[in-house]
Structure 1
Amino acid sequence: MIADILVQVVLPIFILISIGSVMQYIFRLDLYTLTKINFYYITPAAVFISMYKSEMSPALFGNVALFYTLYVLILYGVATLVSRQRKFTKGMKAAFSNSLIIDNAGNYGLPINTLAFKGDPLAGSIQALIMSMNSLVTFTYGVISIQGAKTEGLYRHAIKGFLKMPVPYALVLGLLMHIFSVPLPMFIYQPLQYGYQSMVAIALLTLGAQIIKYPLRLDRIEVYLSVGLRLLLAPAVGFILILILGLKGIPAQALLIASGMPVGVNTSILAEEYQNEPDFAAQTILISTLLNVITITGLISLTQFVA
């Protein structure tokens, strides 16, 4: 299992990140343009397709939504306590909270889910929903918290900014079209599918470029706090919630693995988009992804206890 994870999932991910880093070093890529592509096309397309093709029952959908809501609220509470104790600025508090709440459910979580469950459609649908909800949190709380910090608490402007974001609309539209079995013309479906299929490559290439732009600083204690809480506390919270909610079988196993993802690439995309602690975001992503090689392997082995 360890060899499979390293060769089939982790190695391809790090090859893409490395390619992005090399391309940034040689060509000095336009990160602003890459961010816009991710922000306004790739992610909305991926969220819409995931919801449109979902295979979950309404009851399971509700259980997963409840799990994820409680999970995010608990992590938000932890982030708030740590931020107050460390006396973070508003911008740093927003960046730190995002690093705990927004994980790599898509371009890292989906491949790991596929490997661990051998392409099981139910497990895949659960991970897709987690990815979609994660994107919703990213482009609601994630955006509003950063914009609120950047505008000195003028959340009216932050909310206006959120309403311009395409992801929430893509989520709702995809879900409604799935529920009512609305057919989607091929000339519309295919461009969205192309965007969905390109998500892993574009997002990881962008991350690699961002890492080169912001050199690693090993003396930042807040980076280690974020990574430790993301990789150790978050899956512990997920495990406890699974037991409390009485979840069993593939749903429980899929949610346990989903709770152990590293810091999400979208935190860096948001940080770059709004210029809010982009170096912190890039570093937490890099370090948490490297260390996740160890933690996700252990977490997959623990899924037998919630079968």
Structure 2
Amino acid sequence: MGYFWYILINNIVPIGIMISIGVVMYKAFRLDIKTLSKLNFYVFSPALVFTKLYESEIDLQVLMQILLFFLLFFSLLYAMVEVVIRIKGIKGGMRSAMRNSVLFYNSANYAIPLNQTVFGGNAYTLSVQIVIMILQTLIPNTFGVYSINAHKSNLKAILKMMLSLPVIYAIPAAIVLRYFHLQVPHSVYLPLQYISGAFMATALLTLGVQLGAMKWEFKLFDVLTSNIMRLAAGPALGFLVIWMLGLYGLTAKALLLSCAVPTSLSSVLLAIEYDNEPEFSSQVVFSSTLFSMVTIPVMIYLLDFM
């Protein structure tokens, strides 16, 4: 029960406050959602990825384990979503919206504080979560962009869109600088840190603005289907992959917990930026975050049996 109240007070309430501010700001000033979306995609997100990757410290062997886990987990999650999409007969832009709502999960502003709460501020588990966060930032900006535009644009146009996103270049730049121990000048790195620190706030405010603008006509069955796949089936598949790879200890626990978090704001930002089911995407993020108040404490309890 203690975990429930901790998650409510330290995860749900702060997120809810930021989202509420966004709703109020939209009602008062009719903020331009497209401008906020572009700030997230082209400024805040690349700065966050660059600084976290540049600062991260993790053993190469552990890094390879995490990458292998993520590849298998993401593949199984994708296969599950595709089966559900075909069974339900989902068409058009709703296919990619449903897919993104399950594949992209909140590995940053929800998962990082949750990780540090559950594991008592452990630096190792934090490094594991940061790797997952970086992967979960890269994929929406590559596969996510392709997925959401595949039904309405040709491959050349989609590739052009992806190559215009700064995060594509932020990742290799951070890796090269980190590998060769090249120091970024303080006058350059300081503003990057300021910008990356603003990512969470602007992303949550953007979600609030989107929620304030939408009609609230819930696609109830679709939203619940997404929530079940994200919050229940996702962790189950994560456990399966951990068992298949023979992972154990803190690595296994940190990875399993990372699979259980709600839908990422990335799905909303993609939906807004490319005008693809933004109301459904916003509803999924909102509802999955609320439902996680129940599912996350259950997951934390199960970690003790690993």
User: What aligned pairs does 1:9-158 form with structure 2 within 5 A after superposition?
Assistant: 9-151=11-153, 154-158=154-158
| CA apart distance, 1:191 | 1.2
Q: Provide the C-alpha distance between the structure 1 equivalents of 2:114 and 2:222, rounded to a whole number of angstroms.
A: 27
| CA apart distance, 1:206 | 1.0
State TM-score, norm by structure 1.
0.95
Q: Provide the C-alpha distance between the structure 2 equivalents of 1:141 and 1:304, rounded to a whole number of angstroms.
A: 35
The answer as to whether partners of 1:114 and 1:120 remain within 8 angstroms in 2 is: yes
Residue 191 (structure 2) aligns with: 191
| One-letter identity of the residue aligned with 1:85 | I
The answer as to whether partners of 2:22 and 2:208 remain within 8 angstroms in 1 is: yes
| One-letter identity of the residue aligned with 1:104 | N
> What are the superposed Cα offsets for residues 151-177 of structure 1, whole Å, 9 maximum, x if unpaired?
2xx122112211111112212221222
| One-letter identity of the residue aligned with 1:258 | S
The answer as to whether partners of 1:107 and 1:203 remain within 8 angstroms in 2 is: no
Residue 232 (structure 1) aligns with: 232
Residue 272 (structure 2) aligns with: 272
Q: Provide the C-alpha distance between the structure 2 equivalents of 1:105 and 1:217, rounded to a whole number of angstroms.
A: 28
> What are the superposed Cα offsets for residues 161-215 of structure 1, whole Å, 9 maximum, x if unpaired?
1111111221222122222221111111111111221121111111111112123
| One-letter identity of the residue aligned with 2:251 | P
> What are the superposed Cα offsets for residues 231-284 of structure 1, whole Å, 9 maximum, x if unpaired?
100011111111211212221111111101111101000000000111111111
The answer as to whether partners of 2:219 and 2:280 remain within 8 angstroms in 1 is: no
| One-letter identity of the residue aligned with 1:210 | Q
| One-letter identity of the residue aligned with 1:185 | P
Instruction: Give the match's secondary structure for 1:171.
Output: helix
> What are the superposed Cα offsets for residues 76-109 of structure 1, whole Å, 9 maximum, x if unpaired?
1111111112222231111111111111111211
Percent identity between the two aligned chains = 38
Q: Provide the C-alpha distance between the structure 1 equivalents of 2:120 and 2:203, rounded to a whole number of angstroms.
A: 24
The answer as to whether partners of 1:147 and 1:155 remain within 8 angstroms in 2 is: no
Uncovered stretches (5+) of structure 2, i.e. residues with no partner: none
Q: Provide the C-alpha distance between the structure 2 equivalents of 1:199 and 1:273, rounded to a whole number of angstroms.
A: 16
| One-letter identity of the residue aligned with 2:172 | V
| CA apart distance, 1:298 | 1.1
Residue 216 (structure 1) aligns with: 216
Could you list the runs of 4 or more consecutive aligned residues of structure 1 that deviate by over 4 angstroms after TM superposition? Answer: none
Q: Provide the C-alpha distance between the structure 2 equivalents of 1:86 and 1:225, rounded to a whole number of angstroms.
A: 10
Uncovered stretches (5+) of structure 1, i.e. residues with no partner: none
The answer as to whether partners of 1:55 and 1:121 remain within 8 angstroms in 2 is: no
Q: Provide the C-alpha distance between the structure 2 equivalents of 1:78 and 1:285, rounded to a whole number of angstroms.
A: 19
> What are the superposed Cα offsets for residues 107-153 of structure 1, whole Å, 9 maximum, x if unpaired?
211121122222221111111111110111101110011121222xx
| One-letter identity of the residue aligned with 1:303 | L
Residue 171 (structure 1) aligns with: 171
Q: Provide the C-alpha distance between the structure 2 equivalents of 1:124 and 1:290, rounded to a whole number of angstroms.
A: 24
The 1:96/1:219 distance shift into structure 2, 3 A limit, reads closer
